[in-house]
Amino acid sequence: MSTAAPAITIVTDKSKVSSVNSKDRPFPLEWTRNIGIAAHIDAGKTTTTERILFYSGAVHKMGEVHEGTTVTDWMEQERERGITITAAAISCAWNASWGPWKGIKQRVNIIDTPGHVDFTAEVERSLRVLDGAVAVFCAVAGVQPQSETVWRQANKYRVPRIAFINKMDRTGANFFRAVDEMREKLKANAHPLFLPIGAEENFTGLIDLVQQIAYIFDDTKDMLGMNPVTTEIPENMKADAKAYREKLIEAVSDFDDVIAEKYLGGEEISVQELMLAVRKATISLNFTGVIPGSAFKRKGVQRLLDCVVNYLPSPIDVPPMKGQDSDGKEVDAVVDDKAKLAGLAFKLWNDPFVGRLVFYRVYTGILKKGMPLYNPRTRRSERVSRLVLMRAIEREEIDLAYSGDICALVGVKDVITGDTLCDEDYDIRLEPPSFPEPVIAMSIEPNSKADQEKLGNALQRLVAEDPTLRVKTDQDTGQTILAGMGELHLEIIIDRMKREFKVEATSGKPQIAYRETITAPSEAEGKFIRQSGGKGQYGHVVVKIEPNEKGKGVEVINETVGGSIPKEFIKPSTEGILEACNNGVVAGYPVVDAIVRIVDGSFHEVDSSEMAFKMAGIFAFKEAMKKASPILLEPIMGVEVTTPEEYQGDLMGDINRRRGQIQGMENKAGACIISAHVPLELLFGYVTDIRSLSKGRASASITPSHFSQVPNSSLQKIVESSVKAPART
């Protein structure tokens, strides 16, 4: 009956921890949790993190987002806007109030991630290096668009997670509706671990379905929520608690044979057995336990921390990190303090006091201050001058970092996000995070000659930090083009340049990152022949092209036979084809989703050269694309508008005027939620416009959805504007 579930070892005696632990490490791997807090914007991630830090004793005063006093939102822009922009790492310790580790201090490393779609790269790279996650949902809004994006990212990196249904104190809060939405929209096997006692202003406690006890909060006697009263389950909720506990046992019996046998035999299941089964189910990725609470009102966060320790995995409970050796064979970085060192540089940050900080997850081995680290990408070693444990903006100097730890390095220079840093004799390149392509671009010009050099330096450092930020110089206009994930993303970058790098610059109107593709197969040849008296140039390439699957990009395949093109000229021919893909034939935008087959060609024994075949590849692709019914694609955004019903008609009309397509509508907690697909070109200033139409009462979230063909009515205008002011990304 049971499905595949990991073997879980519960270790409560430090002398009995596994042999992969160094004797010197302060927290054994079994007592370490690396978790992320992730959710849609405004679901309450940062407030939840602040409460976790307070209850764990890491801070002595609760920070508030609306007051700009939070620990993890430390940037000026974050505190001004009340949003998280950059993922902040911080460590704390927690003694679980129950379970096998009761009274044993556990190390919890937390990364608070942004919710806004413009900063999705921060979530992407954080989830790449985490062992578990807490997905936060709003009890009123339920599963929102960015919630779905974050969930997909966690699925991609196979991160086990638990869910925290926040804001149970809000008007319209509905815990069970939020759980149902998790099942419907996220396809999650979600089951309550706790039931809320009351909702909205009557939210007064939690029922623990595993322990079969209740926690009651009394705001009049315990303002900080430090000591909720433990009591029996209220009489009027015993039937519900029994029913939901039965459903929980049935759900986890698929992952634990002991539970399955006892459940089918009608036997009593102990608290310890059920807790272990929930842990197995969670780590298998096929089960999500759900906890209700209100971080702002200080209710349920301690129980969330108990669940982090009891149900989320330690570094040795998850499969080893995958990598490749120099021959491209898959190898595993197995967690072990005694093994060779390997880890992933997942984030770069320019600190005003210590310079470049490289955030680093140690997967195996021990990192020591002062030791050299080898970078397989650059094939060079660099020495770590300082090693620090991050507490958001504050730093704690350390001498050693053990496997499973997250720390920051000072002193390594030639590093980019996704680099493996390891021992020189360890042949491994760990799998880096992947990042979405930019969808919007703008020109940026320094205001003076003095700013010119500072601009180049600032952009270089910002691009190194942010993998979704791209910078290039347009060859036709000489303009510097900045490309990113959205208006807010680029706005923050411009603001950071002024504040951190003292660069005064003027930005141009945002430009859309269009794409081109083909809709039919075709064949063409490209020849590059030059005779100039001496040695000439000769290259001849024949290609066939056809549409590729959406999202697959451009693939170049060599199908030549009989040596029609010598082996040494295949690579330059391929390079020429890929270079030609940077500028399509419709409006000069990058080409996507095409298969290019090099099928034939010819060469000259004396005159042929790599340069000639590269040019022939360019000519062949351009000619073939002209015959392949090329089209222009525009980015389409998923828009979700939440509005009082009285403004529904006006806002739907506004979406239609923007070439939008309504995907659906629903009513939730007295508000109307409109889902639509709208071209990015027509969304500039959209949030401001809907606030005006609704007297400030409507809100919207915008997420990238897909690319779609530009209608003929708009095509000519785009082609003409691309000729006047090109901005390629």
pLDDT, tens digit, for every residue of 3-49? 444 556 688 887 888 888 888 888 899 999 999 888 877 778 778 88
How far apart, in Å, do the first and last CA atoms of the chain sit?
A: 52
Domain at 31-311, CATH from 3.30.230.10, 3.10.28.10, 3.40.50.720, 3.40.50.300:
3.40.50.300
Cα→Cα distances 26→29, 105, 109, 338, 396, Å? 10, 10, 14, 15, 15
Domain at 321-430, CATH from 3.30.230.10, 2.40.30.10, 2.60.40.420, 2.40.110.10:
2.40.30.10
Strands 32-39 and 105-112: parallel
- Quick one: which of 441, 500, 439, 440 has its CA closest to 465? 500
- Quick one: which of 308, 290, 367 has its CA closest to 37? 308
**578 pLDDT band (50/70/90 cuts)?**
very high
Compute the chain's Rg from CA coordinates.
Answer: 28
pLDDT the model gives residue 460:
85
For domain 440-513, give the CATH superfamily. Answer: Elongation Factor G (Translational Gtpase), domain 3 (3.30.70.870)
Per-residue model confidence as pLDDT tens digits over 358-407: 889 999 999 999 999 999 999 999 999 989 887 655 678 889 999 999 88
∠ Cα 701 142 94 (to 5°): 105
**308 pLDDT band (50/70/90 cuts)?**
very high
How far is the C-alpha of 485 from the C-alpha of 512, rounded, in Å?
11
406 contacts 106 by C-beta, under 8 angstroms: no
pLDDT surpassing 60 at residue 90: yes
374 contacts 422 by C-beta, under 8 angstroms: yes
128 contacts 93 by C-beta, under 8 angstroms: no
Which position has the higher pLDDT, 484 or 542? 542
162 contacts 308 by C-beta, under 8 angstroms: yes
Weakest-pLDDT range from 158-162, 333-337, 527-531, 723-727: 723-727
pLDDT the model gives residue 249:
94
pLDDT the model gives residue 65:
56
What number of other Cβ atoms are within 10 A of residue 95's Cβ? 15
How far is the C-alpha of 73 from the C-alpha of 698, rounded, in Å?
26
Question: Which residues does 152 contact at the CB level (< 8 Å), separation at least 6?
Answer: none
701 contacts 630 by C-beta, under 8 angstroms: no
How far is the C-alpha of 282 from the C-alpha of 135, rounded, in Å?
13
**669 pLDDT band (50/70/90 cuts)?**
low
Per-residue model confidence as pLDDT tens digits over 604-662: 988 899 999 999 999 999 999 999 999 999 989 888 888 888 889 999 999 999 999 99
According to CATH, the topology of domain 635-709 is Alpha-Beta Plaits (3.30.70)
How far is the C-alpha of 485 from the C-alpha of 508, rounded, in Å?
16
Same CATH fold, 635-709 and 440-513?
A: yes
pLDDT surpassing 90 at residue 490: no
CATH of domain 520-628: 3.30.230.10
Residue at token pair 């909702």: 199
494 contacts 505 by C-beta, under 8 angstroms: yes
Q: What is the rounded average pLDDT of the residues 228-240?
A: 93
The domain spans of the chain are 31-311, 321-430, 440-513, 520-628, 635-709
How far is the C-alpha of 620 from the C-alpha of 580, rounded, in Å?
9
pTM confidence score: 0.73
- Quick one: which of 508, 494, 488 has its CA closest to 443? 508
Q: What is the rounded average pLDDT of the residues 136-162?
A: 87
